[in-house]
Amino acid sequence: MVRSIMMMIGYVRESSDEARMILLNRHNDQEANNLSHTCLQASSGPYVLTGLVRGQSMHRIPPSHVVGGTGGTGGPNPLPEPKCHYGNCHPTDPKKLNVHLVPHTHNDVGWLKTLDQYYWGSKQGVQNAGVQYILDSVVQALDGEPDRRFIYVETAFFWKWWTHQTDTVKDTVKRLVNNGQLELISGGWSMNDEANSHYSAIIDQMTWGFKRLRDILGEPCGVPRIGWQIDPFGHSREQASLLAQMGFDGMFFSRLDYEDRDKRVRDRTLEMVWRGSDDIPGERSDLFTGAMYLGYVIRD
């Protein structure tokens, strides 16, 4: 049996009208309406919660183009009309405090163990982790439960897991992605470091991850819209600029200096629009950005 622990953490959410308008300007009217009224809810309440799972042992295109990429059966099994990304946000009530739950997992592509050791769950004495079991259990938990959601980040692990699945499981995953229950975010091969990585290497690893996701999941639902940099030790303006130029709608990060975090909590500025470059005209380098209030792990 694979055991999972769901842990909830929170961060203060306070978006300015200016931040919302810059973000909304990137979408057509219908998408902007969905985004404004179902996802940001900047004025409806100050708190957002995020979940963490640890396992132990838009642009519109015809739905016929999203049958499944090249990874699963690839046969004549059309998927339902896509309703992923913002179009599948749960409805909110402006008269109430709306709590947005984001169940997720964080899987290092190499840290205390190698990628294969993390994936297969070997060397548990070094660290208790087995990524394949996380993905197995997530798919099982989402299937048949349309109100459940989960996000996944590291394409290196997702791709490795995908290559070991049956066509039946692959079709299930495509359906979960297509209906917005399972969302791939960031989309790079890994959650890259922002200090030591050269910009060309960041672009290369993001491009490789995007290609894999696009090949197996198709558009629009297999195309990430949000960056998720929760564990790099520090954050660079260039990373924000690159993600903005790649077409991302926003980015969330966790690690920042404790004094900076405390000040942002007091000033209610944990969320902002990050201008990634002074040399790129207009809003092409602007990125809606949120710093997590308590990091990405539970606090006692």
Opening angle at CA 165, ends 163 and 169, nearest 5:
135
Contact 254, 217 (CB under 8 A): no
Report CA torsion sign: 40, 44, 45, 51.
negative
The two three-digit tokens of residue 161, written as one number? 């897991």
Known active-site residue 215: no
Cα–Cα dist 204/7, whole Å: 33
Cβ–Cβ contacts within 10 Å for residue 70, how many?
A: 9
Opening angle at CA 44, ends 17 and 97, nearest 5:
160
- The continuous run of DSSP H or E covering 287 comes out as strand 286-291
Catalytic residue (one of 215, 231, 262, 300): 231
Burial bucket for residue 233 (CB in 10 Å: 0-12, 13-18, 19+): exposed
Phi, psi of 284 (to 5 degrees): -65, -25
Opening angle at CA 135, ends 256 and 144, nearest 5:
115
The two three-digit tokens of residue 39, written as one number? 């996802």
HSE (CB half, 13 Å, CA atoms) of 57? 3
What residues act catalytically? 231
